[in-house]
Structure 1
Amino acid sequence: MSDLLSPGRKKAKLDRLAELSAAHDDERGVSLWQEAFRRLRRNPAAIVGTVILGVFLLIALVGPFLVPYDPAAQLWKDEIREAQAFYPGPRAENWFGVDHLGRDEFSRMIVGARQTLLVGVVATLIGLTVGTLIGGLAGAAAGLGGRWGRWVDTVLMRIVDMLLALPSLLLAISIAALLGASLTTVMIAVGMVSVPIFARLLRGSMLAQSNSDYVLAATSLGVRRSKVALTHILPNSLAPVIVQSTLTLATAIIEVAALSFLGLGNPDASIPEWGVMLADAQRYLDAAPRLAILPALGIIITALGFTLLGEAMREALDPKLRK
């Protein structure tokens, strides 16, 4: 039958069979993470978020070594006239102008990016670590069953429920006020706010994975349920937690700025941080609104980058959206 086909049709048919075979091989050999990475590369939101975060990381890592002036030096204090509400704006020597103390605003924005990134990342790591420990222990205990397993799961989840019952910002303010104003306090306060989110998410993911076929197969082969929970269920339940950590970074940066705005951030004014800069600029909104607009834009754009990348990762790792 194939001999009766024209050479052109025969070549097209062979090409089509080759494409189908390659697609079948790709589908059979591609893992969830490889497929997710492939879909991320084709997602415009992921590309935009990655570019924003790449620029932000580059500024935070390299920028402090390239700033033209010391961010704490009041080099243009004599040019400021408080009585006339005059604060020099953008010009050749000061691209973003100077602040109310005569400090270069551009240098402070660049150095403040590192401080904001440090606080946001450390706060997220604190919440991720504590939340993963609580959620993993609760999920493993619930999967093991028995009286002790149910008791451990119930106690841990009731603690998490009490944390969730409090508004996140109110909880962060309470912790920061209790520990005193400092950079470490802000990290701990913001990190503890995200603990119940990670704990609930990991526990739910582990309970969903405990009904999978590979868990049943491992249990049928005589593997202890504790080993199944730690070596099989837990690693396969971390994908949504990783995605949530990206989204939490955006929230952490905003909450850090809120605590700094309320005066609970770093008391050392010589170290610039976007939230502190935004709080200091409130008294000069009429005379120099750029002092508030610049750090606000930095916070908004950075949070947008983390949000776009996190949402794209959530869609890429969703099994329901896989072809």
Structure 2
Amino acid sequence: MSLVSTNTSKLDRLAELTAKSETTSGASLWREAFRRLRSSKMAVIGAAIIALFVVVAVVGPWLAPYGPTAQTWRGEVFPNRGEFVGGRAGNWFGLDHLGRDMFSRFLVGARQTLLVGVVSMLIGLIAGAVVGAVSGAAATLGGRTGKRIDSVIMRVTDIMLALPSLLLAVSIAAVMGQSLTTVMIAVGVVQVPVFARLLRGSMLAQGGSDYVLAARALGIRKRRIVLTQIMPNSLSPVIVQATLSLATAIIEAAALSYLGLGNPDPAVPEWGVMLSQAQRFFDNAPMMSVYPAVGIIITALGFTLLGEAMREALDPKLRG
């Protein structure tokens, strides 16, 4: 028997073992998780909140009754005297300090908030997955060099995790300068060690699975096992964490905008910017702060509920 045919038979055997594993555990796990999600009130409420937020973010600019930057009613507002216009028929959320329609700015601002949250999460997810995969592969493949690489990467992530996330994000944003891109990068960098640690730990846990032991017994190279089997089977907790990180990213991005590190153009509506502008007039017009704050809280709650429901649905200890 030739070497090529021997390797082919080994790969076929590995594919057979993997297919059986996926049939009996992988596929059934996802089906069971989806069934549990559909029957979970927490997941349904979270998904409904997220769906509403996404719809508002997508179609909000077309639903807004007025331009978000139009100071149409500036002559009716006197912030120096503490006189503001509250909710009324033409302006459901009232007017801000420049005579702009708060409801229109709220709808348009949802898109910026969603954009910042999603892009920040993707930055952290992609960069963290790369770092975690390199570290996990180095630790799984073994060898003195691999363990050294894993140790160096983990010590760097430990240092990043030791710093308060908001403080780290503020420091990065302050160094890079005031812009919306800066906020996304700063919040994304904060998420990197979380995803890296999670993927690396999941890969190490998968390294002792039966299908890995079977593959090694068949003589399959460790590198192939890591890339084609261990890594794909380690992504479930990372996907769940991505959902939870969206909530954190939205809150931290709003915090940076609140601190004045977000979009340098204050006319562009974004919930964090709106909250920052409203703090000066909280005594006379508290609802200017309430609307964007409630939007941030409810949106973060939706992602948190769905993420927690996904975590419980995929947890083998909670499956009955």
What is residue 276 of structure 1 aligned with on the other side? 273
What is residue 310 of structure 1 aligned with on the other side? 307
The 5 A counterparts of 1:104-119 are: 104-119=101-116
What is residue 39 of structure 1 aligned with on the other side? 36
> Secondary structure at 2:231's aligned position in 1?
helix
What is residue 132 of structure 1 aligned with on the other side? 129
Q: Work out the CA distance in 1 between the residues paired with 2:261 and 2:207.
A: 43
Q: Work out the CA distance in 2 between the residues paired with 1:320 and 1:212.
A: 17
The 5 A counterparts of 1:19-58 are: 31-58=28-55
Q: Over aligned residues, Cα RMSD in angstroms?
A: 1.4
Aligned-pair CA distance for 1:222: 1.5
Match 1:187 to one of 184, 188, 201:
184
What is residue 91 of structure 1 aligned with on the other side? 88
Task: Give the TM-score normalised by the residue count of structure 1.
Answer: 0.90
What is residue 321 of structure 1 aligned with on the other side? 318
**1:240 and 1:105, CA in 2 relative to 1: closer, same or farther beyond 3 A?**
same
> Secondary structure at 1:268's aligned position in 2?
coil
What is residue 223 of structure 2 aligned with on the other side? 226
Identical-residue share of aligned pairs (%): 66
Task: Give the TM-score normalised by the residue count of structure 2.
Answer: 0.91
**1:201 and 1:83, CA in 2 relative to 1: closer, same or farther beyond 3 A?**
closer
Is 1:261 the counterpart of 2:261? The answer is no
- Select the structure of larger CA radius of gyration: 1
**1:169 and 1:92, CA in 2 relative to 1: closer, same or farther beyond 3 A?**
same
Q: Work out the CA distance in 1 between the residues paired with 2:80 and 2:168.
A: 41
Consecutive unaligned residues of structure 2, counting only runs of 5 or more, are: 1-22
Aligned amino acid, residue 81 of structure 2: Q
Q: Work out the CA distance in 1 between the residues paired with 2:222 and 2:199.
A: 18
What is residue 15 of structure 1 aligned with on the other side? none
Q: Work out the CA distance in 2 between the residues paired with 1:235 and 1:317.
A: 15
**1:28 and 1:163, CA in 2 relative to 1: closer, same or farther beyond 3 A?**
closer
1:26-68 alpha-carbon deviations (Å, 9 max, x no partner): 9899611111101000000000000100100000011111211
Q: Work out the CA distance in 2 between the residues paired with 1:143 and 1:286.
A: 58
> Secondary structure at 1:94's aligned position in 2?
coil
Aligned amino acid, residue 180 of structure 2: L
Aligned-pair CA distance for 1:270: 2.0
What is residue 299 of structure 1 aligned with on the other side? 296
Consecutive unaligned residues of structure 1, counting only runs of 5 or more, are: 1-25
1:242-296 alpha-carbon deviations (Å, 9 max, x no partner): 0011111101111011111111011111210000100100110111000000000
Match 1:101 to one of 59, 81, 98:
98
State the number of aligned residues: 298
Aligned-pair CA distance for 1:301: 0.2
Q: Tell me if the contact between 2:63 and 2:107 (Cα under 8 Å) persists in the aligned partners.
A: no
1:213-248 alpha-carbon deviations (Å, 9 max, x no partner): 000111111211011011100111100010011111
Aligned amino acid, residue 167 of structure 1: P
Match 1:252 to one of 238, 249, 256:
249
Aligned amino acid, residue 55 of structure 2: L
Aligned amino acid, residue 114 of structure 1: R
